[in-house]
Structure 1
Amino acid sequence: MGEKTNENQEGDSMKHLHLTAAALALVAGPALAQQDTISIGMVLEPPNLDPTGGAAAAIDEVVYANVFEGLTRFGPDGSVQPALAKDWDVSEDGMVYTFYLNEGVTFHDGSEMNADDVVFSLDRARAEDSTNAQKALFAGIESVTAAGPLTVEVTLSEPNGNFPFNMAWGDAVIVAPETVEQLATTPIGTGPFTFSEWVQGDHVTLVRNENYWGEPVALSTATFKFISDGNAAFAAMMAGDIDAFPNFPAVELLSQFESDPRFEVVVGSTEGETILAMNNKQPPLDDVRVREAISHAINRQDIIDGAMFGYGTPIGTHFAPHNPDYVDLTEMSNYDPEKAKALLEEAGATDLTLRMMLPPPGYARNGGEIIASQLREVGIETEITNLEWAQWLEQVFGGKDFDLTIVSHTEPQDINIYARPDYYFQYDNADFQALIEELSVTSEPGMRTELNQQAQQVIAEDFVNGYLFQLAKVGVINAKIEGMWENAPTQANDLTGVRWVE
């Protein structure tokens, strides 16, 4: 989710071999050394560094593919690719997946990674007391067994053609039982970078894993620096303290980068459905007429223009517009304040005051002010409380103590969260749950499309949440850097292919 949320190594990003003018005149010597360090800006600091035990997107933004790896992984185009598993087979009935692991893989502490670690990781994720934020990914697993040192058999309770996709999530990375208790503060994985330090409130530093089992990375050091303020982010980029800010927090300042040849502005798409989430069990929001009224009170384009400076695509359901199964349902909840007023009167819900809890991102804080003004026009007052990320996770996501909140759900193809009655917005629809259950066991592409579209229609008709816009991925990078992801098929700053070029 998104909201499933950095460093201070001064001078490191400008490490050059300095020669005096005299030396250059006398020696046709070495060229300037190739830069191999990078500073990455991030808006939010992760609450911990264990992707298997936390919901914040910022965790994966640091460690996905860099520190931790799963059986499979997402590529920059959203495709599912081999990772720790070099290949896999599926039984004819679709019930058994056999994964064949790469040889010579070690954890960062030098211990071997083998089939037993995979068994441990998947059993831990699906255990009754699991704290995995995406426990539903593992719910269909009947058993996990080591069929050999480098062979793992996963037996499902029913066929699931999406299982390799599920295993590519950051929540499904492989960890070792010996180090699992320390992952939150000292992560040990199998990836091409090892954890170096975390100065809380400032940065996390990773260094190249010289014993990496796969293709070595070009970067020797990567520092993730946490800068939530847009003006501070702008100043850090201009000063060269930050080399890349993949999700730049102040889109209103992008034009200044566009006119500067030192930088490249990259606009891509994300999996982030940005929603005005409503507590469906909390009166008066347990009345669909009130939820529909709120949806009709919202002018999406005003929010996109005012909070995102025009970056964002309007949505009418919880599905990414770039997905081929997307259905445009925005007209179902079009801006119609008069209809909103009539629905509130019909529901006997006049003179409402609702609590709106807002996490730190600009889309939430700025969007919340705009939505509060729009709701006021139809007779709904809001009490806004700005929360830090850890507070939001505890009170809203965990404690369900809210009426309204704004958050971007950045997990890929995650409409199935609406089939979880205990999820933070507490939507409980048995028919929808049955629909998602059918989807989970369906592998035929045409039928999956039909079920995905039915699911979108159901939650739109129930006005579960106010669907605002698909979050754009707007980044600023040094023009000499290549290999950063343009789009965000998952919440990650994958540095495995990043390098400096002259």
Structure 2
Amino acid sequence: MQFRTTLRSLCLGAALAASTALPSFAQEGEVTIALRVAVNTFDPHMTGTVGSDLSVLSHIYPALVLRGPDLKLQPSLATSWEMVDPTTWRFKLAEGTTYADGEKIDAEAVKWNLDRVRDPKVGARIAGWFSLVSEVNVIDPTTVEVKTSAPYPALADQLSMFLLLPPKWAETHNPATETLSGGPYAVEENVPGDRITLKANPDYWGDKPTFQTVNFRTIPETGSRIAALLAGEVDLITGIPTSEIARIDAADNASAGAVDSTRSMLIKFNHEKPPMDNLKFRQAVNYAIDKTGIADAIFDGKATVSQCQILSKDYFGYNPELEPYPYDPDKAAELFAESGVDLSQPIEIEVPVARYLQGEEVTQVIASELTSLGLNMKISEIEFGAFMKKQIEGRDLAQMAVQGLAWPTIDADGMLTMFSPGNVYDYWGNEAFGKLLDEGRETTDKDARQKIYAEATKLMCDEAASGFLYVQPETYGVSDDVTWQARGDDWVRAFDMKPKT
């Protein structure tokens, strides 16, 4: 209890100084969204970053289906879709759809995009999403058929992330730096690293956009985002400390809150480096961390403790039968002793800076709790890009790393695959776990899949494959001029917002 009280005081003491709220001057027919990081590319096939790149590009390019604020799939370019057999999907497209230059958005365009993203010569960043797609067939101008080499029950979910470039236009233009609208908005101005201004596309084939102008401003610093919201300069911000929610709520022109995201925070163990290959040592780490204390003290109770799995309740395959490792320092000390590990040896724990909500604070608490039990902990803070390169290309992850994982399909097949032998993210190498995931892909029966994933998540829990922490809260602040339904999957889109009447 002393830990939670002290930590809460430190967090509150570090909160930003209160500022006086000014009346909003957001113009009618215009909305402004603050991004935490800049847009890196306009090519939707070269990025998997939802909170910036894909969120902006979803205003410009069409998708077959969209995931709504309720996290359910809804029609977009595709008016309907069905799994014809375990390895065949069929999509029916809206008629009369075109890009701004008149180029058709038809079945041929869909096929070209799926062929492009799978072409090794293109080197698409998201090629792995469609590794199971074996063939794309045009049935007629408004019907496209996608065949897969194995059952892919989450294909429609994955396609909600897949934006369609105009094929003919792309032959003579660079999609990384240029755009041609086929969605509700077109780019009017782009100041790299600073702002992107969109104007409503008058030739859009779908519903007329609510806002005539959409501004995306890049504001990396948390205090500056909050100040911009309270000054009425922006209408939506995300990624704020939970300690700031009450202050924003107290303003007369904005409100704030938090919901569970689809991102689970964990201590990723590198089983390839001792002592993380020791089961009792890994279990001891799980008992040593006061996850409820972290949720209460750092996140003001707005973080949900993970149920001994990396899946949150939003995911298909979530296992409701699992329970968290309880906070039990005595049990942890007993297991550390039984592990036979020399606790004086240095143990490195890495954390990417400015990537996860208050991730550095969480890492300090974890290191402190493990140190109190005799471990020799060393914290290494690292830039996120360097962290990912070290993890994937260098295969040199530290013994422990604080990391957040999410998967856009919100399906166990994608999320759990990051721990499957052979996956670039895997440092566990558990063959039994890999076989269970293979079984899950061999059937489209939901009950059978749920049972398989229950077994797989239990195996991860029993083997302490990682240190299971909490579901990261998705925090936000929104001006009183608009309505927006908070969502936990990082999408920030103007067409999910409306002027407040």
Tell me the TM-score normalized by structure 1. Answer: 0.84
CA displacement at 1:82 relative to structure 2: 1.8
Secondary structure at the residue paired with 2:226?
A: helix
Residue of structure 1 in register with 2:154 after alignment: 162
Does structure 2 conserve the Cα–Cα contact (< 8 Å) formed by 1:57 and 1:410?
no
Q: Partner residue of 1:62? A: 55
Residue pair 2:197, 2:214 contacting (<8 A) in 1 also: yes
Question: How many residues align structurally?
Answer: 467
Aligned to 1:365: 360
Asked if structure 2 preserves the Cα contact closer than 8 Å seen for 1:65 and 1:496, the reply is: no
Which segment is superposed worse, 323-332 or 384-393? 323-332
| 1:265-317 alpha-carbon deviations (Å, 9 max, x no partner) | 24333211122222333333233333323222211122223332321100021
* Cα distance in structure 2, aligned partners of 1:204 and 1:349: 54
Q: Which residue of 1 aligns with 2:348?
A: 354
CA contact (8 A) 2:80 2:92 kept: yes
Which residue does 2:491 correspond to in 1? 492
- The residue aligned with 2:29 is 36
Matches within 5 A, 1:19-418: 35-60=28-53, 62-63=55-56, 65-91=58-84, 93-108=85-100, 110-128=102-120, 131-132=123-124, 135-168=127-160, 170=161, 172-177=162-167, 178-179=169-170, 182-188=174-180, 190-245=182-237, 247-315=238-306, 316-323=308-315, 325-328=317-320, 331=323, 333-345=325-337, 346-351=339-344, 352-360=346-354, 361-403=356-398, 404-411=400-407, 412-413=410-411, 414-418=415-419
Moved more, 109-118 or 123-132: 123-132
**Map of 1:14 onto structure 2:** 25
**Alignment CA distance shift 1:152-1:256 (3 Å):** same
Contact 1:248 1:474 in 2 (8 A): yes
Secondary structure of the corresponding residue to residue 273 of structure 1: strand
- Separation in 2, partners of 1:277, 1:194: 41
2:494 aligned counterpart, secondary structure: coil
Amino acid at match of 1:373: S
- CA deviations over 1:29-61 (Å, ceiling 9, x no partner): xxxxxx111121233334434443234343456
Give % identity: 21
For residues 6-36 of structure 1, what are the alpha-carbon distances to aligned partners after superposition, in whole Å with 9 as ceiling and x for unaligned? xxxxx9x8365xxxxxxxxxxxxxxxxxx11
Asked if 1 retains the 8 angstrom alpha-carbon contact of 2:137 and 2:146, the reply is: yes
Distance, in Å, in 1 between the alignment partners of 2:239 and 2:50 is 15
User: Residue 120 of structure 1 aligns to which amino acid in structure 2?
Assistant: W
Alignment check: 8 A CA contact 2:40 2:53 kept: no
Deviations 1:86-105 (A, max 9, x none): 223432x3332222222232
Separation in structure 2 between the aligned mates of residue 363 and residue 121 of structure 1, nearest angstrom: 38
For 2:180 and 2:395, how far apart are their aligned partners in 1?
32
Distance 1:399 1:129 in 2: 23
How many angstroms apart in 2 are the aligned matches of 1:208 and 1:477?
A: 22
CA contact (8 A) 1:273 1:409 kept: yes
RMSD: 2.8
User: Whole-Å Cα distance in 2 between the matches of residues 347 and 176 of structure 1?
Assistant: 61
Q: Secondary structure at the match of 2:419?
A: helix
Task: Provide the rounded CA distance (Å) in 2 between the counterparts of 1:294 and 1:363.
Answer: 21
Question: In the alignment, what sits opposite 2:13?
Answer: none
CA, structure 1 residues 382+66, in 2 after alignment: closer, same or farther (shift >3 Å)? farther
Q: 1:43 to 1:375 in 2, by over 3 A?
A: farther
Letter in 2 for 1:494: R
| Cα drift, residue 130 of structure 1 | 6.5
**Change in 2 beyond 3 A, CA 1:303/1:77:** same
Cα distance in structure 1, aligned partners of 2:350 and 2:199: 41
| Partner SS, residue 216 of structure 2 | strand
- Quick one: structure 1 residues 228 and 427, their matched pair in 2 at CA, closer, same or farther if it must change by over 3 Å? same
Distance 1:324 1:147 in 2: 31
* Distance (Å, rounded) in 1 between the aligned partners of 2:92 and 2:460: 39
- Unaligned runs of 5+ residues in structure 1 are 1-10, 17-34
The alpha carbon displacement at 1:129 in A equals: 5.9
Give the secondary structure class of the aligned counterpart of 2:464: coil
Q: Shift of the alpha carbon at 1:127?
A: 4.0
- The letter for the 1-side match of 2:91 is F
Q: Could you tell me how far apart the structure 1 residues matched to 2:52 and 2:369 are?
A: 34
Unaligned runs of 5+ residues in structure 2 are: 1-21
